[in-house]
Amino acid sequence: MEELIKKKIRDVPDFPKKGIIFKDITPVLSDSKVFRLVIDELVKRYSSRKIDAVIAIESRGFLFGAPLAYRLGLPCIPVRKKGKLPYKTVEMSYDLEYGSATIEMHIDAIAKGQRVIIIDDLLATGGTAAATCELVKKQGGLVDECAFLVELSFLNGREKLKQEIYSMVKY
């Protein structure tokens, strides 16, 4: 499966800035068979676990989190950049390579003791995923695992996360 997905991921040099090789997942999404295999694999991994919700990180995490939650019959909870959610929120700020960012989720998104998985398209430095884990904990939730389509191992994002991590493809 990993090789099939890797064949679909396109390298885009110098995006979003010079020296970066962007891993473009849109060809995975454009190939209905491969996209279905990705979602099926995630469903297989999580269907036997006691999970109460799927947390999807803005924005490409939504592409995997929503169909996964649907297939598992679970709520899909969005984590968004500050100011994008319409109701009362809880927030978490974190450092980026240059500056900082803040993410939010609704204050009533998770009940105390609920077990969740967190999903996003890519694990790079781990800042966004770590902040999302803290948001879940802040509301009394428990993170079962963080899942990613792609992990850029050389950036050591895994080290920032203190829970299980599942990556379908590693570079």
Backbone phi and psi for residue 149, each to the nearest 5 degrees, phi listed first: -70, -45
* 110 residue type, one letter: I
From the candidates 45, 49, 58, 60, give the one annotated as an active-site residue.
60
Strands 76-81 and 89-96: unpaired
Catalytic, out of 49, 58, 80, 97: 97
Catalytic: 151? no
Name the residue among 121, 116, 115, 118 with its Cα closest to residue 38.
121
CA dihedral 118, 123, 129, 130 (to 10 degrees): 130
Specify whether the CB–CB gap between 60 and 25 falls below 8 A: yes
164 as an active site residue: the answer is: no
Cβ proximity of 5 and 24 under 8 Å: no
Q: Which residues are catalytic?
A: 60, 97
